[in-house]
Structure 1
Amino acid sequence: MLEIAPGLTPTELKHCALIKLNFDSKEMAQILGISQNSVHMSRSRIRKKLNLNREDSLSNYIAGI
């Protein structure tokens, strides 16, 4: 993942790992101890760093890596 987007932070990499494991936003929020809104914001930042549009599925993209 770091080869594709070297600008990802360790926290964003954790989020990517949870997305790869098919956790939904609610489950991710509980595991990470943050709000669902924070999960959505993080997903948005990851999408931006990966140059994906809002319409593109982050889950599908990460699953394909």
Structure 2
Amino acid sequence: MPYATIHVPADSLDAERKAELIARVTDAIVEAERTERVRPYVYVVIDETNRDGYGLGGTPIDITLERAARG
């Protein structure tokens, strides 16, 4: 059973975007497996993490994004 976990910041995707993401990831796995027979067994989890639970380059992501926004 193919299994994909996608980590995103909490509340960054609404239900419609989550559904689209699940569908696209499922399509990609089916394409990689080269058979539609795997589709019913593809398991996709969207794991929402609080924004303070991310880091990039050793810095919490909120600080990194704030610095990037400032230019």
TM bin (shorter chain): 0.3 to 0.5
Structure that is richer in strand per residue? 2
Greater RCO (Cα-Cα under 8 Å, separation 6 or more)? 2
Structure that is richer in helix per residue? 1
Superposition TM-score, scaled by structure 2 size: 0.31
Q: Greater Rg, structure 1 or structure 2?
A: 2
